[in-house]
């Protein structure tokens, strides 16, 4: 690939502030894994179930586990939980996924998927379909339940740093 094109792509996309989520999964088929993602996207609220998608690197063991378990939970992090983002990105010295779950409170949801205590919203999903596009699995989930915390403010990541959304004056 053209290296300049790749660098300009990365710089351009770094300017797209996104929310930060942890995709978790648990089950006998694939085990318990969790990975930090910024690729969580709403797809539709109006099918037979709401749906969302996540793009996860094919070498992340979480991707293989989600595809085996056929279920996952997308935990949208609260704005004060950057340590959870770092933990599930393997930046806090927790390379082992089991250790990531030992270091944060969580409970199993309706489908048995890990619902993290630091999430502002947790979307439990069954895997509807998945496509491997070059390096990433694009995984579409049918949402079966949504847990909402009392704090609606979500953590953001943009220009290679954690951020929070601010209210612009005049936009009430």
Ligand X SMILES: Cc1cc2nc3c(=O)[nH]c(=O)nc-3n(C[C@H](O)[C@H](O)[C@H](O)COP(=O)(O)O)c2cc1C
Residues at the contact surface with ligand X, assessed by CB under 6 A: 20, 35-39, 55-57, 60-62, 85, 88-90, 157
CB count in 10 Å sphere of residue 104: 19
CB of 157 to ligand X, least distance (A): 4
Helix (H) or strand (E) holding 122: strand 119-133
CB of 120 to ligand X, least distance (A): 15
- Nearest residue to 51 (alpha-carbon basis) of 127, 102, 112: 127
Q: Which is nearer to ligand X, 41 or 145 (CB)?
A: 41
Cβ partners under 8 Å of residue 113, min gap 6: 24, 25, 26, 71, 72, 73, 124, 125
CB of 111 to ligand X, least distance (A): 21
CB of 86 to ligand X, least distance (A): 7
Q: Which is nearer to ligand X, 58 or 110 (CB)?
A: 58
Specify the long-range contacts of residues 101-109, CB closer than 8 Å, at least 24 apart.
101/32, 101/34, 106/24, 108/26, 109/73, 109/145, 109/147
Q: Which is nearer to ligand X, 138 or 172 (CB)?
A: 138
* Residue nearest ligand X, Cβ-based: 39
Bridge partners (DSSP) listed for residue 84: none
Q: Which is nearer to ligand X, 42 or 110 (CB)?
A: 42
């Amino acid at each position: 690939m053209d290296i300049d094109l790749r660098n300009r792509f990365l710089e351009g996309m770094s300017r797209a502030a996104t929310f930060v989520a942890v995709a978790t999964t648990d089950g006998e088929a694939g085990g318990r894994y969790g990975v930090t993602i910024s690729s969580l996207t709403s797809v539709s609220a109006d099918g037979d179930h709401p749906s969302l998608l996540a793009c996860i690197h094919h070498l992340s063991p979480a991707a293989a586990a989600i595809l085996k378990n056929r279920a996952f939970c997308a935990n949208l992090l609260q704005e004060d939980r950057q340590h959870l983002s770092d933990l599930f990105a393997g930046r806090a010295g927790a390379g082992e996924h089991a250790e990531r779950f030992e270091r944060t409170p969580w409970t199993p949801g309706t489908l048995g998927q890990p619902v993290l205590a630091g999430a502002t919203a947790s979307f439990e999903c069954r895997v509807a379909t998945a496509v491997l596009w070059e390096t990433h699995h694009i995984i579409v989930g049918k949402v079966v339940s949504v847990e909402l915390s009392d704090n609606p403010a979500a953590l953001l990541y943009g220009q290679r740093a954690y951020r929070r959304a601010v209210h612009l004056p005049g936009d009430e």
